[in-house]
Chain A
Amino acid sequence: ELQLVESGGDFVQPGGSLRLSCAASGFIFSSYSMNWVRQAPGKGLEWLSYISRSSSATYYADSVKGRFTISRDNAKNSLYLQMNSLRAEDTAVYYCARVMGDWSYDHWGQGTLVTVSS
Chain B
Amino acid sequence: QSALTQPASVSGSPGQSITISCTGTSSDVGGYNYVSWYQQHPGKAPQLIIHEVSNRPSGVSNRFSGSKSGNTASLTISGLQADDEANYYCSSYASSSTLLVFGGGTKLTVL
User: Quick check: is B30 within 8 A (CB to CB) of the other chain?
Assistant: no
User: Quick check: is A32 within 8 A (CB to CB) of the other chain?
Assistant: no
Report the separation of the CA atoms of residues A103 and B47 in the bound assembly, to the nearest whole angstrom. Answer: 14
Given A44-B2, A45-B38, A45-B46, A59 and B97 contact (CB-CB distance below 8 Å): yes
Chain B 32-71 per-residue mask, 1 if CB under 8 angstroms from chain A, else 0: 0110101010000111100110000100000000000000
Report the separation of the CA atoms of residues A104 and B91 in the bound assembly, to the nearest whole angstrom. Answer: 8
* CB within 8 Å: A-B pair count: 66
- Given A95-B45, A106-B57, A108-B45, 14 new contacts (CB under 8 A): A44-B2, A44-B89, A45-B46, A45-B91, A47-B100, A47-B101, A50-B100, A61-B98, A62-B98, A102-B33, A102-B36, A104-B34, A105-B38, A106-B48
User: Quick check: is A100 within 8 A (CB to CB) of the other chain?
Assistant: yes
The number of residues on chain A lying at the interface, defined by a beta carbon within 8 Å of a beta carbon of chain B, is 22
**B contact residues around A47 at 8 Å (CB):** 91, 98-102
Residues of A with Cβ closer than 8 Å to B? 35, 37, 44-47, 50, 59-62, 95, 100, 102-106, 108-111
Is A44 a contact partner of B101 (Cβ separation < 8 A)? no
Given A102-B52, A103-B93, A35 and B100 contact (CB-CB distance below 8 Å): yes
Q: Could you say which interface size class chain B belongs to? A: 20 to 34
Is B102 a contact partner of A100 (Cβ separation < 8 A)? no
How close is A43's CB to chain B, nearest CB, in angstroms? 8
| CB contact between B97 and one of A44, A62, A111 (< 8 Å): that residue | A62
| CB contact between B45 and one of A35, A62, A109 (< 8 Å): that residue | A109
**B contact residues around A105 at 8 Å (CB):** 36, 38, 46, 48, 91
Given A44-B89, A108-B46, A109-B45, A102 and B34 contact (CB-CB distance below 8 Å): yes
Report the separation of the CA atoms of residues A102 and B45 in the bound assembly, to the nearest whole angstrom. Answer: 20
**A contact residues around B93 at 8 Å (CB):** 103
